[in-house]
Structure 1
Amino acid sequence: MVKLIHNANIVLEDKILENGHLIIEGDTIKKVSNDKIDYLLDFNEIDEIIDAKNLYVIPGIIDIHSDAIEKEIEPRPSTLLPFNMAFYELDKKLPANGITTVYHSISLGDGVGVRSIDNSLKMIENIDSYKNINSKSINHKVHLRYEVLYHEGLDKVSELLDKDKIDYLSIMDHSPGQGQYTNPKFYREYATKVWGVTENYVDTWLDELVDLHDNLDWNKIASVIGRAKTKNINVASHDDDTLEKMDFIKNIGVNVSEFPITLEVAKYSKKLGVLTCLGAPNIVRGKSHNNNLKAMDAILEDCCDIVCSDYLPSAMIKSMCIVAQGTNSLNKAVNLFTSNPAKAVGIYDERGSIKENKKADLVLLDIDSEYPRVVNTIVNGKTVYKREV
């Protein structure tokens, strides 16, 4: 199958190729150019021609932190839907938001509802099997979010690594008094609202979390991180709030800082060579949901490398356009959603930019209309989403 996309504004990492064209053969980009050539001479037959006049072609978005599957499975507290239904429905929604590779963020901790141990492991198995289904629209990966307070879970992380069930690993510490919960009040409000438990339950639980935090075996955690690195799986830290913590996580092998709490920490992360990742909803709202670092402040200070959907895939395209306007650079904005996350998770050789011989994961955007819209999404050379302009 050979596709031709022409009359396009092709967004490369360092420039925009105006009136450009792409030729896709099978699942691969074969040619990217804006030369006045007879491109039909390169192939005996063009199976599909896409006129991208007035549209921008960007690499498919690589979302390395997405909690969306949890909400798809559990739309209301204690109301779980069939897992296979949730995956198929989300698989339909994501390409409409320009996402062509998603790292489903699955929490492994002593949670409740969709985040219970059994349900988390079930989700991982479902995603692993779903990767190889031909009818899927996009590329699905597992981002395992290990809660370090769940001491017993560390052996399970090792087991999942040995079975090649994990594509990206992050470590979290949600104990009160640090990270995003420096004020336990926010933890209490979050738990009662999201998990539907009582304040008395939360208070008892917070005391237990403090005790678990005080008895962490960081040598064992570092050993598991080392095991992940030997399997070429990159590792992130979560809610980093001090410079001392940044030094520590850098030393144990972490290469991405998710949702740094302050601008100072984000700047220091950049200095250490640790990539920073912030959320699209933060950009759209103009603030963090719990009054931590504003993503646009970090972007304007050049200490945000990656934007993820966090909990809202529909915020990706809109936030990209906000960044482009705020930085006066569409290239820089697009890189935060494509090439930079691809580098962070080790798939840049295959995906994340529009280059010859890379996988044909592409999104055609109408960003000049009243509201930015995805017009066409192509994954591995196949059109998986299309709407009329």
Structure 2
Amino acid sequence: MIITNVNLVLDNEVVKGSVEIKDGIITSMSDTQSQLPQAFDGENGHLMPGFIELHTDNLEQYFTPRPKVDWPPFSAMSAHDTQLIGSGITTVLDAVCLGDYRDEKRQANLEQFINTVVESQKRNLTRAEHRLHLRCEVPHESTVPAFEKFVNLPEVQLVSLMDHAPGQRQFVNLEAFRTYYQAKYNLADHEMEAYEARQISLSERWSSQNRNEICRQCRELGIPTASHDDATEAHVTESKELGMVIAEFPTTIEAAKRSHELGLKVLMGAPNVVRGGSHSGNVAAHELASLGVLDILSSDYYPMSLLEGVYMLAADERNSLTLSQAVKLVTKHPAQALNLDDRGVIAEGKRADMVLAHKVDGHPLVKRVWRQGKKVF
């Protein structure tokens, strides 16, 4: 297969030309247009590597589309997968929460959620390649047992550790914690006080112990680990000492800069880019881009935000990112973090996972997606 008349978004430049694919692999590239009648005409769009998503909670909304409504799991998976492919995502780590004492519904769906991802891949039911990201809420007695139950699945590619207790990381600001959870769970003032006290108690009892144990096992198994919502240099130092390779959603410039300096790839939400800032009042992703300490974008809860975020960062005069550099945030850099050497760039010998994007009236749109050379959108 030949794709021609496209702007190839390469590692360090954008080149007008063509690409040839055979047996799912990119075999050659050219800076000229193909004259063969069977070549696919990309109509001057941008041809990028397929996007690699490390942290998405998107599947949950299809499992439970309304309160008290459970959707058939493989139907939910199909709808989720279709949305991801339509957003240009060809490799995805579906995030599943372990030890999430705040949400009983999540825990009830846990095993079914994981089995659906695993079985969908075994039966070739999806268009994107789906893997698993275990999100471990460390302040709970059930976290390590749940982690040990699932960590040996071959689909597990990333483990992150988080503590959403009041006064910790994302919720250093206690008022922000109260505002968020009191509204989320519709708690009266006295109920909120009891809830807050319980979360603090659980964090003091379990967080450090569980964090150390999960990281120890991941180091032995060779599974990459990620911190979550680091806010201080002390948090970052601890993450580095525990062997973490990704800093998910650092909440301050201080934490992001130190993570980058120590070699942790700084991951921020693409919705943060699109919206112009954090929904919880933490550091804006565009600030980190302007400082040169933004390494990876994640769509988090909105898949199309990856494509939109890439174009927005490349056009933002507050930073010096070219389109090639912005595209690396959703392709090459996440591939490197997971040691996926076969994808993440348009280059000879790499997987033909590719996205063709156009801008229509200033809005980026996904026109075609190929996974291993096969058209999947």
Q: TM-score, normalised by structure 2?
A: 0.93
Contact 1:233 1:346 (8 Å CA) reproduced:
no
**Structure 2 equivalent of residue 104 of structure 1:** 94
Cα distance change, pair 37–136 in 1 and its aligned pair in 2 (3 A): closer
**Structure 1 equivalent of residue 283 of structure 2:** 293
- 1:36 and 1:93 mapped to 2: Cα distance? 32
Q: How many residues align?
A: 373
Q: Aligned partner of 1:178: which letter?
A: Q
Cα distance change, pair 25–165 in 1 and its aligned pair in 2 (3 A): closer
CA displacement 1:15-49 (0-9 Å, x = unmatched): 1122x2111112211112225888x7xxxxx9x52
**Structure 1 equivalent of residue 23 of structure 2:** 26
Cα distance change, pair 79–202 in 1 and its aligned pair in 2 (3 A): farther
**Structure 2 equivalent of residue 334 of structure 1:** 327
Cα distance change, pair 314–202 in 1 and its aligned pair in 2 (3 A): farther
Contact 1:113 1:195 (8 Å CA) reproduced:
no
**Structure 2 equivalent of residue 273 of structure 1:** 263
| TM alignment of 1:1-389, pairs within 5 A | 3-18=1-16, 20-34=17-31, 49-108=39-98, 109-115=100-106, 117-195=107-185, 199-216=189-206, 218=208, 221-326=211-316, 327=320, 329-347=322-340, 349-367=341-359, 369-385=361-377
Q: 1:73: how far off?
A: 1.8
SS, match of residue 264 in structure 1: helix
SS, match of residue 237 in structure 1: strand
Provide the aligned C-alpha RMSD in A.
Answer: 2.0
- 2:142 and 2:165 mapped to 1: Cα distance? 16
CA displacement 1:115-143 (0-9 Å, x = unmatched): 2x231222112111112222311111111
SS, match of residue 164 in structure 1: coil
- 1:209 and 1:310 mapped to 2: Cα distance? 24
- 2:185 and 2:61 mapped to 1: Cα distance? 12
Q: TM-score, normalised by structure 1?
A: 0.90
CA displacement 1:214-257 (0-9 Å, x = unmatched): 12363553243232233332100110011001001110111111
Contact 1:16 1:331 (8 Å CA) reproduced:
yes
Cα distance change, pair 365–37 in 1 and its aligned pair in 2 (3 A): closer
Unaligned runs of 5+ in 1: 41-45
- 1:21 and 1:232 mapped to 2: Cα distance? 38
Q: 1:339: how far off?
A: 0.5
Cα distance change, pair 29–187 in 1 and its aligned pair in 2 (3 A): same
- 1:242 and 1:317 mapped to 2: Cα distance? 30
Contact 1:80 1:114 (8 Å CA) reproduced:
no
Q: Aligned partner of 1:372: which letter?
A: P
SS, match of residue 329 in structure 2: helix
Contact 2:139 2:207 (8 Å CA) reproduced:
no
Deviation larger for 66-75 or 199-208: 199-208
- 1:202 and 1:147 mapped to 2: Cα distance? 20
- 1:269 and 1:295 mapped to 2: Cα distance? 14
Q: Aligned partner of 1:341: which letter?
A: P
Contact 2:229 2:251 (8 Å CA) reproduced:
yes
Instruction: Give me the identity figure in percent.
Output: 30
Contact 2:131 2:155 (8 Å CA) reproduced:
no
**Structure 2 equivalent of residue 43 of structure 1:** none
Contact 1:280 1:308 (8 Å CA) reproduced:
yes
Q: Aligned partner of 2:171: which letter?
A: Y
Contact 1:107 1:120 (8 Å CA) reproduced:
yes
Q: 1:328: how far off?
A: 5.0
Unaligned runs of 5+ in 2: none
Contact 1:57 1:364 (8 Å CA) reproduced:
yes
Q: Aligned partner of 2:219: which letter?
A: K
Q: 1:300: how far off?
A: 0.9
